[in-house]
Amino acid sequence: MPGITREEVAHLARLARLELADEELDHFAGQLDDIIGAVARVSEVAEQDVPPTSHPLPLTNVMRADEVRPSLTPEQALSGAPAQEQQRFKVPQILGED
């Protein structure tokens, strides 16, 4: 596979409206060549029977059962609130709505 040339990097830079110095063109040409080589190696390994995945390990959502348990009464929950109204925390109005 031919390597990425300085001219190709300069063309990409122009398309992206980037101004690159001569040293940067050489540097990025090598880096882009390495990246394209790595992608090509991954493509060689990928088989048709392997489904695309977003994560290498199977993930499942671990949740506990939703069970009713004893909790605070509204009075206990609001006991430390600086202000309350209709069994709710009362906070300053911020949106200017009624």
**Contact (CB, 8 A) for 37 and 1:** yes
Which residues are paired to 84 by β-bridges? Answer: 89
Residue 15 CA to residue 35 CA, distance in Å, equals 19
Q: What is the chain's pLDDT, residue by residue, as a tens digit (98 residues)?
A: 468 889 999 999 999 999 999 999 999 999 998 999 898 888 777 677 777 777 888 878 888 888 999 999 999 999 999 999 999 999 988 887 66
Predicted TM-score (pTM) of this structure: 0.44
For the chain, domain boundaries? 21-47
For residue 27, the surrounding DSSP H or E stretch is helix 22-45
